[in-house]
Homo-oligomer: A and B are copies of this chain.
Amino acid sequence: MNYLKKVVIVGFCLYFPSSLIAQKHPNIMLTSQNIDAVRKGLQEYPLLQNSYKEVLKQADKALGAPISVPVPKDGGGGVTHEQHKKNYQNILACGVAYQLSQDKKYAQYVREILLNYAGQYERWPNHPKSNPSNPPGRIFWQNLNDCVWQVHVIQGYDLVFDAIPAKDRKTIEEHLFIPVLKYITVDSYETFNRIHNHGTWAVAAVGLTGYVINKPDYVEMALKGSDKKGKAGFLAQINELFSPDGYYTEGFYYQRYALLPFILFAKAINQFQPELKIYDYRNGLLKKAVNTALQGTYSTGHFFPINDAIKSKTFESDEIVYAVDIAYAEMGGDKGLLSIAQKQKKVVVSDAGLKVARDIAEKKSQDFSYQPQWIADGKHGDEGGLGILRYGTLKEQQCVLFKAASQGLGHGHFDRLNILYYDNGTEVFPDYGASRFINIETKGGGGYLKENNTWAKQTVAHNTLVVDQTSAFKANLKAAEKHHPELIEFKTTDNIQVVSARENNAYPGVQMLRTTALIKIKELKKPLLVDIYKAESATEHQYDLPFWYKGHMVDASFKIAAVKDNLKALGDNYGYQHIWLNSKNEIPEGNGYITVLNSNSFYTTTFASAAPIEVKLVSLGANDPEMNLVESKAFILSQPKAANQTFISITENHGGTDPIAEVTNGANSSLSSINIQNSDAKQTTFSFKVKNKTYILTLNYYDKNNFIQIK
């Protein structure tokens, strides 16, 4: 821990009060002093009005159905799981509805259902569907969901606090909330004190509850860990889970998820203990984290699905609605956030939502400013990071995510120097994400499937180099956590955006160096994706560089003769056992191209290698007895045996086809003949021809001032 952080934490210790002052209700997202303003805003600002309508609809639906608090039984997606989830959403919705309508029936619902929980909770043992992979909950199969439940329920309780008789409050607090607090802090001691997103939900649940039911002791534990020494708890989590650039080490999917308890608990801290100046903590880290989460999306709003990630997730998710509203209304976020709120089509019905809806109604919104950038990883910002390259309008945005980050804890994938490529609003070279059908109970209880380990995490599932058909670090988490890639260069100009990084530990004795750039040249409308992947070793290896692609291959420089029958798996381990080898093509000259038609537009990847290579055309699905894997296809540039190998590829988006008008244009790439002139530890030089113009591109790996030259 560096000096600065010590000072801050000491500061927090000094200021921490022995009893809490601000005992007003409600006092989290919607606060007593702003109720009237929000109520007025409902009449004036369409986004707030529509958002409230949704809340009211849910609240009324809750009131229309019998209260159901089933004994916990089912896993993710199952009936009791979904019922308890619905219950916490209903409790929160009814809380908001009560405050804004002042109709006591909503408060009455919350009182009744909480009394029902209070009558049962203490009798529930650990959930019957809990399993050793995750700490158990009592309401849900994992503790995490219990904490999420509590984060929502306590807000609902805060909203109806004044409408519940003191006697009932006593019952609810003594037989539900205090037992929940104990379950989280004592039974789940390790999770509560863990520096991890599950820990964040745990401390948020405990801290929020501590504020609302006035138990400062629990608040202090939430902020500083069970022993109140600051090595665990909320502040330690802010220090350790985020990089100085606001990147959450598990990746964007989990960053989104973790943001809600971070942001929400911060908001509560700011309400109950404004003197702690939590928004300023660590140079305004939480505001940065919100911006970084948004920068971690493609222009469609989808989060870059690195590590374990559900690919359909976008910034429309509720967590980001909270994050955007609070960042804009309370942390001084800029007007680009308003355009995100517009795409979210809702706000949190709250003080913050009021401001967002008002400023949108007053036409203050601006386009969110996506920026090419290097996002450092590691709590000190020195453990590699992510390079994001972007050009073009929101509609046609061309974007590369270059992953040179650290392992990212247990949800991390073994994908050092992986790239994801997007263009024209779609994936071109995708990441598989996680192997998981979230909340589909019939698919492994909605959790991670075994193919998440055998396939999704393995190196070959990504667009990066695989050595000897083995995953980086032999897919060993502990080994992988010891090392991170090293940034060589990140630079953006009007015509070149480039990122380059080195990884020397993934495979013993192999130095890997990848450089990826988007380069605008005057002959073409859109930038080229240029990729130079270099491996060096004293001994010979097999080097495979897969490009997983979307669309359908429509042309290649070589004649394809795919396997007709008896399709075989490409290997027997490290994900290769899941790959069908459809076609193996010798490329003695080392050069060639592949054209893919994707969303009615062409993408030609022209590739070159100084030595002969093979191109393997593959698809996913071998050794998948339960048919869990999702259709995927790749071409793999493969060097069967060499000590050193450089793969160069240039991908051009060109032309397109309109199947309704039945018109095709620009079906041929303008690019031809990549020639490698040299590639050694210091420098790579090659030429390529676009139309009739020959370009020479040089990378000087040790010369930051002249890292990339093109002429």
Give min CB distance, A48 to chain B, whole Å. 20
Q: Which chain B residues border A39 with CB–CB below 8 Å?
A: none
- Determine which of B313, B552, B624, B660 lies in contact with A562 in the assembled complex, contact meaning CB atoms within 8 Å: B624
Q: Is the CB of A561 within 8 A of B625?
A: yes
Given known A440-B597, A659-B313, contact A625–B560 (CB-CB < 8 A): yes
In the complex the two chains form, what is the Cα distance from A664 to B657 in whole Å?
Answer: 37
Contacts of A626 in B (CB 8 A): 560, 562
Query: Contact check: which of B316, B553, B660, B667 meets A316 at CB < 8 Å?
Result: B660
Q: Which of A609-660 contact B (CB under 8 A)?
A: 617, 619, 621-627, 630-631, 657, 659-660
Chain A interface, DSSP helix/strand/loop, else mixed: loop
B-contact bits for A285-313, CB 8 A (1 contact / 0 none): 00000000000000000000000001011
- Asked, given contacts A554-B437, A664-B439, whether A659 binds B310 with beta carbons under 8 Å apart, the answer is yes
* Closest B residue, CB atoms, query A666: B82
- Cβ of A539 within 8 Å of any chain B Cβ, yes or no, is no
Q: Map CB proximity to B onto A302-344 as digits: 1 under 8 Å, 0 otherwise.
A: 0000000010111011100000000000000000000000000
Q: Say yes or no for A661: interface residue by CB 8 A criterion.
A: yes
Task: Tell which of A375-383, A473-481, A565-573 binds the partner.
Answer: A565-573
Q: Taking the complex as formed, is A665 at the interface, i.e. its CB lies under 8 A from any CB of chain B?
A: yes
CA distance A318 to B318 in the complex (A): 42
Q: By the criterion CB–CB under 8 Å, are A567 and B443 in contact?
A: no
Could you say which residues of chain B place their CB within 8 Å of the CB of A630?
Answer: 552
In contact, B665 and A627 (Cβ under 8 angstroms): no
| A568-B565 contact in complex given A439-B664, A554-B437, A660-B317, C-beta closer than 8 Å | yes
A109 within 8 A of B: no
CB–CB B597/A437 < 8 A? yes
CA distance A622 to B565 in the complex (A): 6
A394 to B446, CA, bound (A): 32
Residue of B nearest to A441 (CB): B667
A662 near B560: Cβ-Cβ < 8 Å: no
List residues of chain B with CB within 8 A of the CB of A657.
Answer: 77, 438-440
CB proximity of A682 to chain B, nearest CB, Å: 40
The answer to whether the Cβ of A555 comes within 8 Å of any Cβ in the partner chain is: yes
For residue A77, which residue of chain B has the nearest CB?
B664
| Min CB gap A348→B, angstroms | 14
On chain A, the number of residues with a Cβ less than 8 Å from chain B's Cβ atoms is 57
> For the complex, what is the distance from the CA of A438 to the CA of B554, rounded to whole Å?
11
List the B side residues contacting A562 at CB < 8 Å.
624-627
The answer to whether A564 has its CB under 8 Å from any CB of chain B is yes
A580 on the B face (CB < 8 A):
yes
CB of A322, distance to nearest CB on chain B (Å) = 13
- The interface residues of chain B lying within 8 Å CB-to-CB of A310 are 659, 662
Q: Are B560 and A569 in contact (CB under 8 A)?
A: no
| Interface pair B582/A627, CB less than 8 Å apart | yes
Q: Does the CB pair B661–A317 fall under 8 Å?
A: yes
For the complex, what is the distance from the CA of A595 to the CA of B446, rounded to whole Å?
A: 15
A520 at the A/B interface (Cβ < 8 Å)?
A: no
B residues less than 8 Å from A667 (CB atoms): 77-78, 440-442
Q: Does A583 interact with chain B (Cβ within 8 Å)?
A: yes
| A627-B661 contact, Cβ under 8 Å, with A554-B442, A622-B565 | no
Q: Chain B nearest CB: distance from A625 CB in Å?
A: 5
A581 CB to closest chain B CB (Å) equals 11
A82 vs B439: C-alpha distance when bound (angstroms): 49
Q: How far is the CA of A128 from the CA of B313 in the complex (A)?
A: 51
Q: Please, which residue of chain B has its CB at the minimum distance from the CB of A318?
A: B661
Among residues of B, the one whose C-beta sits closest to the C-beta of A567 is B567
For residue A4, which residues in chain B have a CB less than 8 angstroms away from its CB?
none
Q: Mark A60-84, 1 if CB is under 8 A from B, else 0.
A: 0000000000000000011000100
B554:A443 contact, CB within 8 angstroms: yes
**Distance between Cα atoms of A317 and B658 in the complex (Å):** 10
A residues apposed to B, CB below 8 Å: 77-78, 82, 85, 310, 312-314, 316-318, 437-443, 446, 552-555, 560-562, 564-569, 580, 582-583, 595, 597, 617, 619, 621-627, 630-631, 657, 659-665, 667
Besides A439-B664, A553-B627, 10 new A-B residue pairs in contact (Cβ under 8 A), listed by A number = A312-B659, A317-B661, A437-B554, A441-B664, A442-B595, A562-B624, A564-B622, A566-B568, A582-B621, A631-B631
